[in-house]
Structures are given as C-alpha cells and as structure tokens.
C-alpha cells in the first residue's frame, strides 16, 4: 500500500509541473519546476522498486537525468 501512495505522490508532482508549465504559471527552466519534476520521478522510481515495470523505470531514469541537467544548467547560469 505504501508503494502505491509513494507512486501516487510522484504522479501528482509530475502532473502539477506539467499543468503549471502549460498554463504559463511556471517556466520550463525554473528551479521549482525542475525540482518538483525530479522529486516526482524519484518517488515513481521508489514505487517501481515494489511494482516493477521496465518501460516506466526507463522513462523515469531519463526524467531524472533531464531534471538534474536542467537544475545544473540553471545553477551554473547556462542558457
């Protein structure tokens, strides 16, 4: 049950980010957007450790890598 809750929270993070970017409330390179996206992907990876799905696992790895890259670029001031 806890794995489902963790996965649900991860999904909420990702959907929240997508909604706020598509409705111009956040920018795609904001720390908050990429940080919450990263948190969502990590939570989804945790839930996948209990209910594994290869396709979902792979996309979350990419999601994490992209979020970390965006956060790093923002931190360094790279456009």
Tell me what pLDDT residue 73 has. 94
CA angle 25, 36, 41 (to 5 degrees): 130
Element holding 75 (H helix, E strand) = helix 54-76
Report whether pLDDT(79) > 90.
Answer: no
Mean pLDDT of the chain: 96
Tell me what pLDDT residue 78 has. 85
Report helix, strand or coil for 3.
helix
Spatial distance between the Cα atoms of 58 and 49, rounded to a whole number of angstroms? 12
Query: pLDDT digits over 26-64, tens only?
Result: 999 999 999 999 999 999 999 999 999 999 999 999 999
What token pair was written down for 51?
A: 């209910």
């Amino acid at each position: 049950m806890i794995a489902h809750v963790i996965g649900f929270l991860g999904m909420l993070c990702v959907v929240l980010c997508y909604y706020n970017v598509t409705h111009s409330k956040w920018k795609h390179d904001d720390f908050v957007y990429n940080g919450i996206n990263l948190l969502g992907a990590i939570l989804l990876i945790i839930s996948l450790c209990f209910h594994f799905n290869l396709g979902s696992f792979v996309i979350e790895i990419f999601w994490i890598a992209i979020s970390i890259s965006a956060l790093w670029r923002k931190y360094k001031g790279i456009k």
